Chains A and B, each alone.
Chain A
């Protein structure tokens, strides 16, 4: 079983602050996805990264894939209360048939 560690597990910040969430593995990913889950709903895909060193931006969210494709980060600039939710990274490993393994999630609360 592949292990995918996500940190921090919980994060409570004030509106306007910046934050970074990390996703790490000892194995190489063939691709990595970030999902956001709001209470009472299923996770929704935010982004997929495939190439080592890749950076993708989605409004105030910046996603980076490590050069070695073993880690990824999600940076949120000027967080807003609407960013509150559970953020999940999910890695696909080629030796696991590209099935996704999910990290434990980061629960973010942004206070107004």
Chain B
């Protein structure tokens, strides 16, 4: 079983719909992240959380919101999806105790907004 699990893996929706992407982890890491991946643009940080009560905006937070329901769960919401939010979304975790700052990624959620 994957240490970082994302659901759904694929989703097609229509403009204006509310979408939630969920992420859960069994690694026991304190830090969690949501990234967006578009071809040629690498990974762009949407939001991150260093602990349950901590939420921080990343580079491209407009149009997104997050909730850190528990240390192991971090969800990403699109309140009113638009076509340019069509992308591959990744959840990642890290351990603040590790000096390398290595990120552990989920398998991704592919979102298509029509």
Contact = CB atoms under 8 A, between A and B. Distances in A.
Interface of A: 1, 4, 6, 9, 31, 33, 35, 40-45, 48, 88, 90, 92, 98-100, 102-105
Interface residues of B, number: 20
A92 B98 CA distance: 14
Contacts of B48: 99
Interface of B: 4, 35, 40-45, 48, 59, 90, 92, 100-103, 105-108
B108 A40 contact: yes
Given A40-B107, A42-B4, A42-B106, A92 B101 contact: yes
A82 B106 CA distance: 21
B101 A42 contact: no
A101 B6 CA distance: 22
Nearest to A42: B105
Given A40-B108, A42-B90, A6 B4 contact: no
Given A102-B43, A104-B42, A43 B102 contact: no
7 contacts: A1-B59, A4-B42, A9-B40, A42-B106, A43-B105, A48-B102, A88-B42
A42, A44, A105 — most chain B CB neighbours (10 Å): A42
A6 B42 contact: yes
A6 B41 CA distance: 10
